[in-house]
Amino acid sequence: MGSGQTVAVFGAYGHTGRFVVAELRERGFRPVLSGRAADRLKALAYGTELEARPASVDDPASLDRALEGSAAVINCAGPFATTAAPVIEAALRAGIPYLDVAAEIEANVDTFAHFADRARDAGAVIVPAMAFFGGFGDLLVTAAMGDWTGADEAHIAYGLSDWHPTAGTRAAGAVSRQRRDGRRIVYSNGRLEHRHDAPPTLQWPFPDPIGPRPVIGEFTMADVVTVPSHLSIPEVRTYMTVQAARDIAAPDTPTPTAVDERGRSAQTFLVDVVVRSGDAERRAVARGRDIYAVTAPLVVEAVDRVLTGRTNAVGVASAGEIFDAPEFLRALSPDITLELRP
């Protein structure tokens, strides 16, 4: 458990940040609440023993004060195209590990490109995309690979019952769309490619209880950055159920609604991963509830493993590279159920 270690949470008052703060406390860590909005931090800290330290990505000194005395920092504040680099710089100055929950493809590309050499030379740990999109898919692909050192294809199909996006998700999506200038992204032939055509719609054979469903065939998520960062797979494709894709595209889809004492929504998910090498195929299936809420045990488990030395790499590393993927995923029970085939 956390043994009282202090972990700074930047963007603590956001939808996902609140789940992360609660998970840290449950696991024995002491969160320090940080972010730009001092009034929201004060409201979150009210009635608790937690310390609020306002900080802005435009003010490095404020970030240094926010991270002072912490063992690690978790960045939950999007858009990460704006926040990731300044908070990483602050973590490097403080000499502490950095983890974020970025689902933005471009922001994650930037983290690998701009900080890989510096982090490796410093022996620092930076784990981007330690969330449902990016880290989770990477862990599942890595676990499915088993003893394979490479594969021809990796397919990650997201079976979401619905998708009520947070304000942060919408803001991050707007930044990504602006950077893409109307294009979409795929990972093919061992590289990221921009395309102008519409993505295909097809049927994906999800296992029970979902069964076959129509999906957007190239609904590209952060997995196309995390998976190829350490696995030799030239084709990485991600898919999204049509209903969930429609939800996030519609401007009037409401934000998530809490339906239990933990603040989780009724949304359920099934992630179906298939890796192929020649004629051989391996599969991983994971089930759970609320993609935002489940990000909390993902990133807090990661923090715990980093701080206790249960890691396989230094520098900028994705979840599947730095952690023992099957062991990590099994540690997430009961939040996630896992099935590896074979």
Q: Which residues of the chain have pLDDT under 50?
A: none
What is the pLDDT, as a whole number, of residue 176?
A: 92
What is the pLDDT, as a whole number, of residue 337?
A: 97
Residue 265's CB: how many other CB atoms inside 10 A?
19
What is the pLDDT, as a whole number, of residue 34?
A: 98
What is the pLDDT, as a whole number, of residue 235?
A: 98
What is the pLDDT, as a whole number, of residue 3?
A: 77
In three-state form (DSSP H/G/I as H, E/B as E, the rest C), the secondary structure along the chain is: CCCCCEEEEECCCCHHHHHHHHHHHHCCCEEEEEECCHHHHHHHHCCCCCEEEECCCCCHHHHHHHHCCCCEEEECCCCHHHHHHHHHHHHHHHCCCEEECCCCHHHHHHHHHHHHHHHHHHCCEEECCCCHHHHHHHHHHHHHHCCCCECCEEEEEEEECCCCCCHHHHHHHHHHHHHHCCCEEEEECCEEEEECCCCCEEEEECCCCCCEEEEECCCCCCHHHHCCCCCECCEEEEEEEHHHHHHHHCCCCCCCCCCCCCCCCCCEEEEEEEEEECCEEEEEEEEEECCCCCHHHHHHHHHHHHHCCCCCCCEECCHHHHCCHHHHHHCCCCCEEEEEEC
67 near 96, Cβ under 8 Å? yes
Tens digits of residue pLDDT in 189-247: 999 999 999 999 999 999 988 999 999 999 999 999 999 999 999 999 999 999 999 99
What is the pLDDT, as a whole number, of residue 1?
A: 67
